[in-house]
Amino acid sequence: MDLTLRIWRQASAESKGQFVDYQVQNISADASFLEMLDILNESLVMKGEEPVAFDHDCREGICGACSLYINGRPHGPDRGITTCQMHMRNFKDGETIVIEPWRAKPFPVIKDLMVDRTAFDEIIQAGGFITVRTGGTLPDANALPIPRAAAEDAMDAASCIGCGACVAACKNASAMLFVAAKVSQFALLPQGRPEARERVQNMVAKMDELGFGNCTNTYACEAECPKEISVSHIARMNREFFGAKLSAPLKKE
């Protein structure tokens, strides 16, 4: 395939960005989207030009780094996969592909297509963990019976890779699906219950503080999530939050 790539170029967080058109030729339909960008970058380096900066790590759909807006959709036109798993067979010969970074205030652009997702790390630090004793005798993992349905739901929630597509897809830049997945994965399991009330209140407070918007039930997050995390987790998070507020509100410092 021969393609035109309309790519957002931005030298730094402070500078203004703009779209720049590039041509790539003889791209195999079996190449992944990131391999296609590698081919472009190789040609730019050969010409002595600055390669396009983009995030990637595992290239197998598990790290959540490859955050790209492709033709107006987070992770491109295919459903339920990340950018790194998408292949060029999703595009047509001669097509113009528009490639942008995530567009959300809490995810500022670092360079070109790379954004800073430290905000997600801060939300996790606010409560996305359980406190355990790591010394002494550890309980057997199977000693605590967990209903099958709860284990399955918790596993589904835990499959969130923190990519940020839910935020990028949302007109309000809401992080509710991400936070709900992280709250649910613990709320459903006995190991997560002791700190559940503090966890949900702290994570929601941090989400608000960092400037993420509210959920207005458009379901765009679920539609674009590469792990197909269900919005039912948002309903669970809301129940957890209201229950915690009523029974054990956090003390103001």
Summarize as ranges the residues that interact with ligand FES (CB under 6 A): 56-59, 61-66, 82-84
* One-character DSSP codes across 99-136: EE----TTS-EEETTEE--HHHHHHHHHHSS-----SS
Output the smallest distance, CB 36 to ligand FES, in A. Answer: 14
Nearest C-alpha neighbor of 198 from the set 235, 165, 245, 151: 245
CB of 45 to ligand FES, least distance (A): 21
Q: Helical H runs in 135-195?
A: 148-158, 165-169, 176-187
Contacts of 97 (CB under 8 A, 6+ apart): 3, 4, 5, 6, 70, 71, 91
DSSP state of 247: H
Stretch near ligand SF4 under the rule CB under 6 A, chosen from 19-27, 110-118, 160-168, 238-246: 160-168
Residue 110 is encoded by which pair of tokens?
Answer: 């670092």
Contact between 203 and ligand SF4 per CB under 6 A: no
Task: Identify which of residues 64 and 241 has a Cβ nearer to ligand SF4 in the complex.
Answer: 64
**Per-residue x/- mask for ligand SF4, residues 112 to 151, rule CB under 6 A?**
----------------------------------------
Tell me whether residue 165 or residue 196 sits nearer to ligand FES (CB atom): 165
Q: Which of 123, 173, 181, 200: binder of ligand SF4 (CB under 6 A)?
A: 181
